[in-house]
């Protein structure tokens, strides 16, 4: 069977499974819709959280990004895993004890203020929206690359599948499809990685092959020979201060992302919340410790396969010919010697952030353009795996995109239908009305996400920094102080959130002015060496300081709030807390 037939078959089977699971876990009450009836076992919630968390970008692009960044790629590896330690130790157990359904629920109740609730709800919607558009785009791209379906059709198919299980099953449907999606994506990621580790080093376990073979030393040597710096040499792309700030911003941002936090409301008790954070990180770590190995293997393999060969020779390699057609791989013979040269710098000049294949970049001797996505996508062919593995990678990319999209859509729609509609405007709404509102809003959100997937606003890729920066500067400090500082009051928390949000938004806006507003140059390139991706850390620190100072200058929170804080600090009674 051809790769294409296999892809239709495997994608078809997995989609049918997601739809079946969504149908089997359809719900009739709001607790099922928002928090899966709090009946999800710790290990299943761990798998669902891992799928929720790992997006199309983690699956398809991250290894390629690390491959081109070398050591500096560690910001993503540590940043997107270390946040789970903060989540498990500082937030998840207490939020689970508190009960309820959403992040704005906690912030609104703890700070006895609808203003705080509304600000948290708006932050949730904004953070989730910037993120979800990219997922739908990812779905379209996988369809177009593997099945030659156009991007719009691919997005519509993806939207229809997500809409089905999210509208019908709410959190419960999403949870169990995410468990299935995790299984698909991790198998699809590991098989090619194991195969290429085995081919290049003779050791099939990527993490061990990466650490104990001499492949990384050989890669360092090749890089030096070609005029690059060593692959493992730190701070080549970013200064140390920026690496520190980005890593911290990503960690804290991860812990403050609403769609991740709400997953911990779905487990039966506080103990399960702690363990499921552990399971989640274990499942994530399987992919996140494989990615840097894959990055180094693929880079070594691509350089040693392509460099110095004649163009005719490399074009006879099957996967080179295939990926050259998709423009993920492109050649230009700058010096006219008929041979491929790999060197630092760009093969082509950039136009609007994309390479312009008609204008070679004459400042560099480099003759090969490698898109980051090719590292993961081409590995099965490079390692000469059977066509069904290539099909599996397509299904894995789709699983990663759909599971993340579903989680984000639920977080976004619960902020609208639960926090804004029910808690603020219609506190007398009946159970049936609330459930209907939830379903309508999630359907609208899916359609909106689909629209953005087909017509991506140009700034989306540039403002992912926003999602993490804003979560780090607004939600994380407010939740943390709400648990650990009994004296924190309404005035302090709201002032802190506003200062953190506004500062971070303004800073990212100024640093990314060309991408967001089309300005000719950034207003300021960085703050003390910290770039847009890391500036949320400064916003977070300002939030903490302002919240502390303002809260100490204003009256303490009322008696019943102080009692609530004491209450959430002990695990006993989490089952009952869920009832009201």
Partner 1 sequence: MEKATEYWKANTSLIRNLLLIWALVSYVFGILLVEPLNGIRLGGVPLGFWFAQQGSIYVFVVLIFYYAWRMDQLDRHYGVHE
Q: Which residues bind partner 1 (CB under 8 A)?
A: 66, 71, 73-74, 77-78, 81-82, 84-85, 88-90, 93, 207, 210-217, 232-234, 240, 243-244, 247-248, 269-271, 274-275, 277-278, 281-282, 285, 288-289, 292, 484, 566, 569-575
The smaller minimum CB distance to partner 1, of residues 83 and 380, is found at 83
Asked whether 179 and 51 are in contact (CB, 8 A), the reply is yes
CB of 15 to partner 1, least distance (A): 32
The least CB distance from residue 538 to partner 1, in Å, is: 16
Distance in Å, CB of 185 to partner 1, minimum: 18
- Rounded least distance, CB 265 to partner 1, Å: 16
Nearer to partner 1, 166 or 216 (CB): 216
**Nearest-10 Cα torsion for 421, 100, 88, 240:** 20
Q: Taking the complex as a whole, how short is the minimal distance between the CB of residue 147 and partner 1, in angstroms?
A: 34
Considering beta carbons, is residue 154 or 268 the nearer one to partner 1? 268
| Contact in structure between 445 and 413 (CB atoms under 8 Å) | yes
3-state secondary structure of 348: strand
CB distance 421 to 429 below 8 Å? yes
Tokens, residue 369? 């353009």
- DSSP H helical ranges for 383-512: 387-414, 431-454, 464-470, 476-484, 490-511
DSSP 529: T
Closest CA to 456 of 352, 333, 573: 352
**CB neighbourhood size of 427 (10 A):** 8
Give least dist CB 220 to partner 1, A: 9
- Phi-psi map region of 40: left, alpha, beta (phi>0 left; psi -120 to 50 alpha): beta
**Are 124 and 290 in contact, with CB atoms under 8 Å apart?**
no
Beta-bridged to residue 348, according to DSSP, are 360
DSSP state of 264: G
CB nearer to partner 1: give 194 or 391. Answer: 194
- The nearer residue to partner 1, 244 or 440, going by C-beta atoms, is 244
Q: How far apart are CA 377 and CA 508, in angstroms?
A: 32
- Comparing CB distances to partner 1, the nearer of 285 and 523 is 285
Q: How far is the CB of 501 from partner 1 (least distance, A)?
A: 25
CB nearer partner 1, residue 313 or residue 485: 485
Q: Where are the alpha helices (DSSP H) in 25-150?
A: 30-35, 42-53, 56, 62-69, 74-86, 92-98, 103-110, 114-147
- Whether the CB-CB separation of 89 and 394 falls below 8 Å is answered with no
Tell me the three-class secondary structure of 237-272, residue by residue.
CCCHHHHHHHHHHHHHHHHCCHHHHHHHHCCCCHHH
* Of residues 234 and 514, the one with the C-beta less far from partner 1: 234
Dist CA 358 CA 365 (whole Å): 16
When the beta carbons of 232 and 359 are compared against partner 1, the nearer one is 232
Whole-number minimum distance, CB 235 to partner 1, in Å? 8
CB of 135 to partner 1, least distance (A): 24
């Amino acid at each position: 069977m051809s790769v294409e037939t296999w892809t239709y078959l495997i994608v078809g089977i997995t989609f049918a499974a997601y739809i079946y699971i969504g149908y089997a876990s359809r719900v009739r009450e709001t607790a099922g819709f928002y928090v899966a009836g709090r009946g999800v076992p710790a290990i299943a919630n761990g798998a669902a959280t891992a799928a929720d968390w790992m997006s199309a970008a983690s699956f398809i692009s991250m290894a390629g990004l690390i491959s081109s960044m070398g050591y500096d790629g560690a910001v993503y590896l540590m940043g997107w895993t270390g946040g789970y330690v903060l989540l498990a130790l500082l937030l998840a157990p207490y939020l689970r004890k508190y009960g309820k359904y959403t992040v704005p629920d906690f912030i609104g109740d703890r700070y006895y203020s609808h203003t705080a609730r509304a600000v948290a709800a708006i932050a949730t919607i904004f953070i989730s929206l910037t993120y979800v558009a990219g997922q739908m785009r990812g779905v379209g791209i996988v369809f177009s690359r593997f099945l030659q379906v156009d991007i719009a059709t691919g997005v519509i198919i993806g939207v229809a599948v997500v809409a089905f299980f999210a509208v019908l099953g709410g959190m419960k449907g999403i949870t169990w499809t995410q468990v299935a999606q995790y299984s698909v994506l991790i198998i699809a990621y590991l098989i090619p990685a194991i195969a290429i580790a085995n081919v290049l080093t003779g050791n099939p376990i990527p993490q061990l092959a990466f650490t104990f073979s001499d492949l990384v030393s050989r890669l360092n040597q090749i890089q030096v020979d070609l005029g690059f710096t060593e692959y493992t040499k730190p701070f080549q792309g970013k200064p140390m201060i920026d690496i520190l700030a980005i890593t911290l911003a990503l960690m804290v941002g991860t812990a403050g992302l609403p769609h991740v936090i709400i997953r911990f409301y779905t487990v039966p008790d506080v103990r399960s919340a702690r363990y499921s954070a552990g399971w989640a990180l274990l499942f994530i770590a399987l992919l996140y410790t494989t990615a840097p190995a894959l990055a180094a293997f693929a880079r070594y393999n691509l350089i040693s396969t392509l460099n110095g060969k004649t163009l005719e020779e490399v074009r006879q390699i099957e996967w080179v010919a295939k990926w050259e057609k998709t423009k993920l791989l492109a050649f230009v013979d700058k010096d006219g010697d008929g041979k491929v040269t790999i060197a630092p710098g760009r093969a082509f000049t950039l136009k609007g952030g994309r390479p312009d294949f008609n204008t070679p970049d004459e400042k560099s001797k480099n003759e090969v353009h490698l898109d980051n996505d090719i590292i993961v996508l081409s590995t099965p062919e490079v390692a000469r795996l059977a066509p069904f593995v290539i099909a599996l990678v397509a299904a894995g990319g789709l699983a990663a995109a759909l599971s993340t999209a579903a989680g984000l859509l639920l977080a976004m729609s619960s902020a609208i239908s639960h926090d804004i509609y029910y808690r603020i405007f219609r506190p007398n709404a009946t159970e049936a009305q609330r459930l209907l509102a939830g379903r309508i809003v999630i359907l609208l959100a899916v359609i909106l996400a689909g629209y953005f997937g087909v017509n991506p606003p140009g700034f989306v890729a540039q403002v992912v920094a926003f999602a993490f920066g804003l979560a780090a500067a607004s939600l994380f400090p407010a939740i943390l102080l709400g648990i650990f500082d009994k004296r924190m009051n309404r005035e302090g928390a709201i002032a802190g959130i506003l200062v953190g949000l506004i500062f971070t938004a303004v800073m990212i806006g100024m640093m990314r002015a060309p991408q967001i507003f089309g300005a000719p140059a950034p207003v300021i390139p960085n703050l003390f060496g910290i770039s847009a991706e890391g500036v949320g850390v400064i916003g977070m620190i300002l939030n903490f300081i302002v919240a502390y100072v303002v809260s100490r200058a204003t009256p303490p929170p009322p008696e019943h709030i102080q009692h609530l804080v004491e209450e959430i600090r002990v695990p006993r009674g989490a089952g009952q807390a869920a009832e009201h």
